[in-house]
Amino acid sequence: MASLGVSERNSAGKGKGLFADVHFDEKDVILTEEPLVSCQFSWNRTYSYRACEYCMRNLETAEESCRRLSDDDKIILPYKECCTVDKSNHTKCESCDAEYCSSQCKMKAANQYHATICLGDANPLKQELETLEDMWKQIHYPPETSSIMLIVRMIALVKQSANKERLVKKFDAFCNKTANERQQILHKLVGEKFSNQIDNLRLQLKNTIQEYRLEEWYTHDGFRSILALLGTNQQGIGSSSLSTWVKNCYDLNLSEETFSKLDKYISDMYTKLFLHAGEFLDCDGVGLYPLQSRCNHSCRPNAEVSFEHGDNKLTLRAIRPIDKDDEICISYMCEGEAARSRHSRQKILSENYLFLCNCDRCEEQVDDPDETSSESSGYSSSDDDLSSDCESSAVAP
């Protein structure tokens, strides 16, 4: 697998990795990539975060989003021209009212997967799909890190694909081990404490949607492998018309006095949003990116993932100079997790990604005490749901 400027090669002790074929300066775009499959989180959608069902573009205007997140219908944002949402292009599925940002996205969804899993009343799968998603929501609370509906969408993609074998091979190319036998690490999603929940999900999935080319996915071990595939490869996605509006406002050519007033307005606005919605400000979801998934982890990464197009298109950008033939590494942890002690980081990585890190930073801290850092007091491997350990104390609105 290769792209302009990068290629997949062997990485010492890590299997495959992504390497630079050219020099990248800090802030350079290394690659952009659309997902093989993606979907919005279930609870995120339930709480009225409106995103395009195909590309996850935020469908609310910045003002509408701000009003909902602050529970204040009187908010009127300045510089409305900085909001890029064009509601005249929005459309819906005639059967189930799934929303799209454009007719192009609607057509792509229908051709790729939506015709199979449309929740219109005429679809015999409707009740089973709703039951499956409800079961998932009962065991995976906000903040969300995955979705059973992503697996459903993967199956639907294969069912509707004109080249099913090729698509199955693409899914098979993702790492899907439930354990690292050499280091005797078990993925936390398939641990004993989740056994009953996982089996119930598996049986409901089997009752809901099947594809004979994916029969292995419905077995006891196969379903756990698919959960592990998501756990070790999926990339979180976030889109926000409000953040796009803010960025465009800051790009305006304003006087120093006007800019200062705008900056204070935006700061006060976010304070109000955080008081009501906490950190749940975006249309959040998850996707599988074949090329980006080849990036190995480092606790001192040289690149980071962002979503700069307002949809599910991923941007991988250098955060420090990367020389030709250097391995391109990202952090698999959120900012709060990455700031923790070496012992805490190793625990998070082993339970979520099935490896013990030996990056430069970890090697420098190898003699640090094997103690969980104070910042990790909220981290526990005994939680009874499948949610993330990067949690906010706020409840989604």
Does residue 337 sit in the same domain as residue 216?
no
Strand-by-strand arrangement of the 6-11 sheet:
2-3, 6-11, 15-20
Asked if pLDDT for residue 391 goes beyond 90, the answer is no
Higher pLDDT, 190 or 38: 38
Res 192: pLDDT: 62
Q: Are residues 291 and 228 in the same domain?
A: no
Top pLDDT among 359 and 40 is at 40
For the segment 297-351, what is each residue's pLDDT rounded down to a tens digit?
A: 999 999 999 999 999 999 999 999 999 999 999 999 888 898 999 999 998 888 7
Across the range 227-256, mean pLDDT stands at 94
110, 161: one domain = yes
Give per-residue pLDDT as tens, 259-294.
999 999 999 999 999 999 998 999 999 999 999 999
Is the peptide bond between 143 and the residue preceding it cis, with omega within 30 degrees of 0? yes
Q: Is residue 40 scored above 90 in pLDDT? A: yes
CA torsion 220-222-224-229 (nearest 10°) is -170
CA trace torsion 207, 211, 213, 214 (10° rounding): -50
User: Looking at the domain assignment, is residue 212 inside a domain?
Assistant: yes
Buried b (16+ CB within 10 A) or exposed e, 360-377: eebeeeeeeeeeebeebe
Who's near 170: CB < 8 A, 6+ residues apart?
36, 290
188, part of any domain = yes
Is the pLDDT reported for residue 393 higher than 80? Answer: no
* Cα–Cα distance, 226 to 230 (Å, whole number): 6
| Same domain as 308, residue 193 | no
SS (H, E, C) the chain: CEECCEEEEEECCCEEEEEECCCECCCCEEEEECCCEEEECHHHHHCCCCECCCCCCECCCHHHHHHHHHCCCCCCCCCHHHCCCCHHHCEECCCCCCEECCHHHHHHHHHHHHHHHCCCCCCCCHHHHHHHHHHHHHHCCCCCCCCHHHHHHHHHHHHHCCCHHHHHHHHHCCCCCCEECCCCEECHHHCHHHHHHHHHHHHHHHHHCCCHHHHHHHCHHHHHHHHHHHHHHCEEEEECHHHHHHHHHHCCCCCHHHHHHHHHHHHHHHHHHHHHHCCCCCEEEEEECCCHHHCEECCCCCEEEECCCCCCCEEEEECCCECCCCECEECCCCHHHHCCCHHHHHHHHHHHHCCCCCCHHHHHCCCCCCCCCHHHCCCCCCCCCCCCCCCCCCCCC
Kind of pairing, strands 29-33 and 179-180?
unpaired
23-27, 224-228, 303-307, 392-396: least confident range: 392-396
AA identity, residue 187: H
171 shares a domain with 107:
yes
Q: What is the pLDDT of residue 377?
A: 43
> Do 225 and 371 share a domain, yes or no?
no
Cα–Cα distance for residue pair 185/187, rounded to 1 Å: 7
Q: Structural domain of residue 85, as residue ranges?
A: 48-236
List pLDDT tens digits, range 147-183: 999 999 999 999 999 999 999 999 999 866 655 544 5
Domain count, the chain: 2
Decide if 389 is inside a domain: no
- pLDDT tens track for 344-383: 999 888 877 878 888 899 999 888 887 665 544 444 434 4
Q: Is the residue at 30 inside a domain?
A: yes
Residue 248 lies in a domain: no
Q: What is the pLDDT of residue 107?
A: 98
Handedness of CA 82, 335, 149, 353 (dihedral sign): positive
Residue 356 lies in a domain: yes
- Asked if 13 and 121 sit in the same domain, the reply is no
Residues in CB range of 298: below 8 A, 6 or more apart: 329, 330, 331, 357, 359, 360, 361
CATH code assigned at 31:
2.170.270.10
Residues 157 and 226 in one domain: yes
At 388 the pLDDT is: 47
Same domain, 198 and 340: no
For position 374, what pLDDT does the model report? Answer: 53
Write the pLDDT tens digit of every residue in 115-151: 999 999 999 999 999 999 999 999 888 888 889 999 9
Q: What is the pLDDT of residues 61-118, one digit of tens each?
A: 999 999 999 999 999 999 999 999 999 999 999 999 999 999 999 999 999 999 999 9
Q: Mark whether 81 and 224 lie in a shared domain.
A: yes
Of 172, 201, 236, the position where a domain reaches its end is 236
Q: What is the pLDDT of residues 251-268, one digit of tens each?
A: 999 999 999 999 999 999
Same domain for 130 and 30? no
Same domain as 53, residue 7 = no
Question: 233-249 burial string, b = 16+ CB within 10 Å, else e?
Answer: bbbbbbbbbbbbbbeeb
Comparison of pLDDT for 365 and 36, the residue scoring more: 36
> CB–CB of 324/22 below 8 Å?
yes
Q: How far is it, in rounded angstroms, from Cα 83 to Cα 248? A: 8
What pLDDT is attached to residue 376? 43
382 belongs to a structural domain: no
Within a domain: residue 275?
Answer: no
pLDDT value at position 146? 87
